[in-house]
Each structure stands twice: as C-alpha cells, then as structure tokens.
Amino acid sequence: MNSHIKAVDINNVWKFFNLGGTVLVEGKHGDDIDVMPASWSMPIDYNKLGVVLDSTHYTRKLIEKEGYFLLALPTVKIVKELMYLGSNSKNDVDDKVEQSGLKFFNIEGCDFPLPEGCVAWAVCKVLKEPHNEKTYDLFIGEVVAGYADDRIFNDKGEPTFETAGEELSILPNFGGAYFYSLGKRVSVPGY
C-alpha cells in the first residue's frame, strides 16, 4: 500500500470533497465492481456526501443492492482512465473497469478496493431516500470511513496542494472533457 495513505477523521472528510473536483463513484456487490466519474457531488453535512447518479448507470444498480458507495477524488494523473470510465458502460462492456486501466489497492478494514491515482476516499452508507433517488437521482450517504494522501494535507488538517505538485491536483470540470488543475493558494486578507 501507498505509505502516504492515512485514515481521516470522519468529520473532516467533507473538506476534500468540498474542493469541487470530479469524483469517481464506486459500487460493488459481491465480486461485481463498477466505477464511474461524476461531477454532481457535494457535502450535504459534515459527515454526509451527496451524489447524482442516473438510473441507467450500472454503478447505481450495485449501490442499490449493497447500500454503500465509495467516492474517490481523482487526480490529473488518471484523467485518461476517468474519461474511459465515463465514456463506457458496464451495461455494454463487461470488463469496462479492467479496460479502463484503473488500478486498485486494499486497505485493512475497508471492504472497497480503493482506486489508485486519487488523493481522498470516502466510504458512504446510503441513507435511503426513495423520493430523492427517484425524482432527482440523488443519493445521500453517511461517511463511515475516510482516507487521504498525506501529501495534500498536513498534521493540522490544512491543505497542501501547493507543495504536492500538479500531478496530485484534483480535477474541476466544466462538463465533457474540459478539466482544470488547481492553481495557487489564494491569500485572504486577515486570515
């Protein structure tokens, strides 16, 4: 396992997903795993994350069966794999995840294999909300475990993207294949 991966306090996981980067959504049921990118995702509370998942997605079906999902925060490093995962469906391509080139690692105590090339991961338990799922394709999960790469945050819990290098940048998205990296820290007068 990557020695940079650290468990994160459940109530601090939201900060990583607050940055607004595209996420990878992973669903699994038994040996069946699917991963899709999503950019309609946000914290709903200090220990809750929300994500919009269209009903046609194979990943969503796995999440509905299992009652859990994983959100991961991918970096510039795997933008090619991410685009493949978003352009192909496991409804059509059985070995989509393998074909994407995405690799995984395991961490003790976590049932989800974690995608490599990411800087944060959150395991979420679905809070069943049939109306939201049906009307808005909106899934809300309670964070039950979180991990992050210690090159992007320090002991005080402050972000350190500015020293981590562009390769570890998250991927803000403007729809389609329009991605940006993170830029500089913005200094705020008085803070």
Which lies closer to a second copy via its Cβ, residue 59 or residue 173? Answer: 173
**Exactly one of 63, 140, 148, 164 binds a second copy (CB under 8 A); which one?**
140
According to CB under 8 A, which residues from 52 to 91 bind a second copy?
52, 76, 79-80, 83
CB 120 within 8 A of CB 13: yes
**Exactly one of 5, 13, 21, 33 binds a second copy (CB under 8 A); which one?**
21
| Straight-line distance from the first to the last Cα atom of the chain, in angstroms, rounded to the nearest whole number | 37
Using alpha carbons, select from 117, 116, 115, 121 the residue that is nearest to residue 144. Answer: 121
155 binds a second copy (CB under 8 A): no
**Exactly one of 101, 103, 158, 163 binds a second copy (CB under 8 A); which one?**
158
Over the window 93 to 132, marking each residue x when it contacts a second copy by CB under 8 A and - when it does not, the resulting string is: --------------------------------------xx
β-pair partners for 24: 37, 72
The CB-of-161 to a second copy minimum distance in angstroms stands at 6
Three-state SS at 65: helix
Cβ neighbors of 67 (< 8 A, separation 6 or more) are 125, 126
